[in-house]
């Protein structure tokens, strides 16, 4: 929940910055009916999620923690080394999770996998050789 809040705040600020830049370039006037350009609208829809997923994935891979995991005492580790997996591996984890969310059914499978398996490890983590452990 904490991580979702952090990402939402970043999303809102990036979105507002894009809107401000786009409207500023369009010569926004309070009395006119200026709207976002097609490129500005696309940027609002694409850039914040890409930055959020990228930052979140890189951060959890580099440190093994996110804001939420730090609060509850959890960290992400590589099964091979027992250390944080690295920014690239964390980013790959987030890209796989994003793909599963977009597919819908894959995301449900990923959430149910720990309940059905003795290792209590998400499908994506098992596949990538990662574990979330308590400190």
Tens of pLDDT, residues 48-73:
778 778 888 888 899 999 888 888 89
Residue 117: the pLDDT is 80
Q: For the chain, how many structural domains are there in total?
A: 1
Q: How many CB atoms lie within 10 A of CB 99?
A: 12
pTM of this prediction exceeds 0.75: no
Calculated CA dihedral for residues 80, 85, 91, 92, nearest 10 degrees: -10
Tens of pLDDT, residues 21-33:
766 665 555 455 5
Cα–Cα distances in angstroms (integers) from residue 95 to residues 35, 91, 128, in the given order: 32, 6, 12
| Structural domain containing residue 13 | 2-134
Residue 13: the pLDDT is 77
């Amino acid at each position: 929940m904490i991580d979702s809040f952090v990402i939402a705040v970043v999303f809102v600020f990036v979105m507002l910055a894009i809107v401000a830049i786009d409207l500023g370039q369009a010569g926004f006037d309070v009395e006119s009916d200026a709207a976002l350009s097609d490129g500005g609208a696309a940027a609002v829809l694409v850039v914040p999620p890409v930055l959020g997923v990228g930052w979140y994935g890189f951060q959890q891979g580099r440190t093994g923690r996110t804001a939420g995991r730090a609060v509850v005492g959890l960290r992400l580790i590589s099964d091979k080394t027992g250390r944080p997996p690295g920014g690239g591996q964390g980013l790959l984890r987030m890209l796989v999770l994003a793909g599963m969310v977009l597919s819908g059914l894959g995301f449900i499978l990923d959430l149910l996998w720990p309940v059905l398996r003795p290792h209590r490890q998400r499908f994506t983590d098992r596949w990538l050789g990662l574990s979330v452990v308590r400190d």
